[in-house]
Amino acid sequence: MSDSMPQPAADERLKTESFGARLMKRPELGAIAGVILVTIFFLVTADPAMFTLSGVINFMTPAAQLGILAIGAAMLMIGGEFDLSIGSMVAFAGLFFGAATVTFGLPLIVAIPATFLFAALVGSLNGFIVIRSGLPSFIVTLAFLFILRGLSLVGLKLATGGSTQLRGVRDAVEGDPLASFFSGDAFGGVFAWLAERGLVETFRNGAPKVPGIPVEIIWFVIIAALATWVLLRTPVGNWIFAAGGDANAATNSGVPVRKVKVGLFMVTASCAALVAIITVMDAGSTDARRGFMKEFEAIIAAVIGGCLLTGGYGSAIGAFFGAIIFGMVVIGLTYTDFDQDWFQVFLGGMLLLAVLFNNAIRKRVTGER
Amino acid sequence: MTEDSKFHHGDPAATVAPIVEMKNIEKHFGNIIALAGVSFEVRPGECHCLLGDNGAGKSTFIKTMSGVHRPTKGEILFEGRHMNFASPRDAMEAGIATVFQDLAMIPLMSVTRNFFMGREPTKGSGPFKRMDVERMNAVTMEEMRRMGIALRAPDQAVGTLSGGERQTVAIARAVYFGAKVLILDEPTSALGVRQTSNVLATIDKVRKQGVGVVFISHNVRHALAVGDRFTVLNRGKTLGTARRGEITPEELQDLMAGGQELAQLEGSLGGTV
Ligand SMILES: Nc1ncnc2c1ncn2[C@@H]1O[C@H](COP(=O)(O)OP(=O)(O)OP(=O)(O)O)[C@@H](O)[C@H]1O
Ligand SMILES: [Mg+2]
């Protein structure tokens, strides 16, 4: 509460709230606690190399790729809807982007906006069907999960004459001025400078072991910050919470709920397109399995981050940490003696814990008991 | 009965043109006829009470006025012009604010966020345009204090408020934004004695400022305390409109019960209804 306000007198019916109790009301608390727990776990069990600079970059890269999707999914979940088609959307947008650059030879300045536009259109189609029919988004986007995956396969075969992999993206975008924003590492100069002064680990030849920060991590951080700002500080953010909390009450209070929801579907699809562009340029090719199962991982990261399945509550910062937990567990297990396949067990366990925890939090916030 | 009211009733100048005029409004939900041709008007500076039994169609009627429902038939004139509100947002922009019977509040959101939902004040410009959170909090606390409720904190979730506190937030919000017309659908149903008089006094105050008030209530005393005109709905139709002074509380009460005799009941309850 701002202290610029005249406070008549301290309320005798208000117990002073401990710092802990205030913290408990933050939606992202669970995810932050999770990051700490997972860090402790790997500090004890994993090879110390995991927490060197290159180790951190190693697990932050998959975390960022998932996190970009998870932040979109979290915003949509706060707005009261699901999108199960984001994983397939990654493959579909990847195909579109691959075909644009390789088959049609378009420069990135055309191909990238076109890919975003195309994804946003598909997202808005999802949104329109959900809004118009009043069906649960779960079922509508489940249909698109299959439709988009199928179209990606068919389209790839058409574009390549029978193969399910489209190669040659790297050659096609070689030397394009926009390429450095969507592939490779950022701040290479800074790392080279640090290496010269021996401040970061180097190879024998003096080159830094970490040549820079992968661009997806930069995008991940920017998107998390932007989403948080929108959710907490702008009218649109208020509308997203309202639309998810009670769409009817929000409409009656003057919130343009339909526009907000369709817009959110466009945002999640655009997040998928961004991940598609980054990963396709990184790999130099696109294939039909790109983004497989990512919709579930993104939703799990959002839930670990404090989003309620019923909508109206959650945070982008939570999804940010949820995705980092993910990356740490996937990559972290390779630094330990554990069987890799524990990953799935871990994932399910985290999800269950998060849902139980969030449920308790919601009851606290709304005062129901 | 009119003289026992503590509020001053100027003549709501019958010459003043109505702000909102609803003509022969019909509303059908599938095969259910909720409204079968209701006409109604509100003038600036008057409090027009809408009364009637449960299920008479009062809420449905005011929802067509505030843009929630589109009338199946009939026309709406706003300040003399034909109006077709496509959404509650349109109606709000025209200066109509409503306290809905279900309050239209989001339990998981804070009092402040609920208060300004749909019309958040901003500061800054361009990409740095953001909600003016300090002002929002200050206004919310102040408006709630005026209604007689000392909020503990503006960031408290609405779900943790008591029923009456919640209702007061909805009323304070509508009063704050109701520039031309204020619609109140049973606003006092959960309120304490002090808060009820506050709400009635507020209705009187905004009416004097020239706002047209539509007030729905099941309580004859509350209606008579502030009402200038009384329209009674029964089974989707109007039973008629009376000016204050033209009708006794007993007659009004009978009309509100759907025209059925309440005498028998009143007798057995010792005239306390
Ligand atoms: N969305 C809807 N679909 C179908 N029927 C409806 C709908 N809304 C209202 N009705 C019907 O219209 C009639 C009038 O309802 P309304 O809510 O307007 O009554 P009311 O006068 O406000 O009653 P109360 O005093 O109990 O609030 C009721 O019979 C109700 O069942
Ligand atoms: Mg009603």
- Give the gap in angstroms from C-alpha A79 to the nearest C-alpha of chain B: 13
Q: Which two tokens stand for residue B91?
A: 């109606």
Please indicate whether, in this complex, the C-beta atoms of A252 and B88 are within 8 angstroms of each other: yes
Task: Give SS3 for A202.
Answer: strand
pLDDT for B32: 93
Provide mean pLDDT across the span A189-198: 83
pLDDT for A2: 41
pLDDT of residue A198 exceeding 80: no
- DSSP string of chain B? -GGG-SS------TTSPPSEEEEEEEEEETTEEEEEEEEEEE-TT-EEEEEE-TTSSHHHHHHHHTTSS--SEEEEEETTEEE--SSHHHHHHTTEEEE-TTTT--TTSBHHHHHTTT---EES-GGG-EE-HHHHHHHHHHHHHHTT---S-TTSBGGGS-HHHHHHHHHHHHHHH-SSEEEEESTTTT--HHHHHHHHHHHHHHHHTT-EEEEE-S-HHHHHHH-SEEEEEETTEEEEEEETTSS-HHHHHHHHTTT---HHHHHHTTS--
Q: Does A368 touch chain B (CB under 8 A)?
A: yes
Query: What is this structure's pTM?
Result: 0.90
Q: Which residue in B92, B130, B145 is closest to A254 by CB distance? A: B92
Q: Does A16 touch chain B (CB under 8 A)?
A: no
The protein residue whose alpha carbon is closest to atom 16 in ligand 1 is B57
- Ligand 1 pocket mutation, candidates B26, B38, B54, B59, criterion most atoms within 8 A of CB: B59
Torsion on CA atoms A117, A212, A279, A89, rounded to nearest 10? -50
- Work out the mean pLDDT of chain A and round it to a whole number: 89
Q: Distance (Å, rounded) from C-alpha B244 to C-alpha B251?
A: 12
Q: Which residue in A8, A242, A254 is closest to B106 by CB distance? A: A242
Please indicate whether, in this complex, the C-beta atoms of A14 and B159 are within 8 angstroms of each other: no
Q: Which of B113, B119, B74 is nearest to B96 (CA)?
A: B119
Q: Does A252 touch chain B (CB under 8 A)?
A: yes
Ligand nearest to C-alpha B233? 1
Whether the CB-CB separation of A167 and A285 falls below 8 Å is answered with: yes
Q: What CATH number is given for B12-104+214-268 in this structure?
A: 3.40.50.300
Q: What is the whole-number distance in angstroms between the Cα of residue A310 and the centre of ligand 2?
A: 27
pLDDT of residue A196 exceeding 90: no
pLDDT of residue A16 exceeding 90: no
Q: Which residue of A has its CA nearest to B158?
A: A366
- Give the gap in angstroms from C-alpha A239 to the nearest C-alpha of chain B: 7
Q: Does B179 touch chain A (CB under 8 A)?
A: no
The protein residue whose alpha carbon is closest to atom 18 in ligand 1 is B57
Q: Which residue in B89, B152, B155 is closest to A11 by CB distance? A: B152
The atom number, within ligand 1, closest to the CA of B34 reads 12
Least trusted range by pLDDT, from A18-32, A61-75, A205-219, B156-170: A18-32
The atom number, within ligand 1, closest to the CA of B56 reads 21
Strand B212-216, strand B47-52: pairing:
parallel
- Ligand 1 pocket mutation, candidates B28, B33, B58, B185, criterion most atoms within 8 A of CB: B58
Give the residues across from B238 on adjacent strands: B233
**pLDDT (tens place) for every residue of chain B, 273 residues total:** 344 445 555 554 566 889 999 999 999 999 999 999 999 999 999 999 999 889 999 999 999 999 999 999 999 999 999 988 899 999 999 999 999 999 899 998 999 999 999 999 999 888 888 999 999 999 999 999 888 888 888 888 898 888 888 889 999 999 999 889 999 999 988 888 888 998 899 899 899 989 999 999 998 889 999 999 999 998 899 988 989 888 888 888 888 776 555 555 555 555 554
Chain A residues with CB-CB distance to B134 below 8 A: 2, 4
pLDDT for A19: 65
Sorted by where each begins, the domain ranges of chain A are 68-179+226-366
Q: What is the whole-number distance in angstroms between the Cα of residue B220 and the centre of ligand 1?
A: 21
pLDDT for A33: 86
Q: Which two tokens stand for residue A201?
A: 């680990």
Greater confidence (A72 vs A11) lies with A72
Q: Distance (Å, rounded) from C-alpha A315 to C-alpha A66?
A: 16
Is the CB of B258 within 6 Å of ligand 1?
no
Whether the CB-CB separation of A167 and A286 falls below 8 Å is answered with: no
First to last CA, chain B: 16
pLDDT for A12: 61
Greater confidence (B151 vs A266) lies with A266
ipTM of the complex: 0.87
pLDDT for A207: 78
Digit-coded pLDDT (tens) for A276-313: 999 999 999 998 889 999 999 999 999 999 898 889 99
Q: What is the whole-number distance in angstroms between the Cα of residue B110 and the centre of ligand 1?
A: 30
Please identify which residue in the block is written with the tokens 């067509």.
B64
Please indicate whether, in this complex, the C-beta atoms of B152 and A367 are within 8 angstroms of each other: no
First to last CA, chain A: 25
Please indicate whether, in this complex, the C-beta atoms of B138 and A4 are within 8 angstroms of each other: yes
Q: Which of A292, A288, A298 is nearest to A96 (CA)?
A: A288
Provide mean pLDDT across the span A163-188: 88
Digit-coded pLDDT (tens) for A37-59: 899 999 999 999 999 998 999 99
Give me the amino acid identity at A303: V
- Ligand 1 pocket mutation, candidates B27, B28, B31, B32, criterion most atoms within 8 A of CB: B32
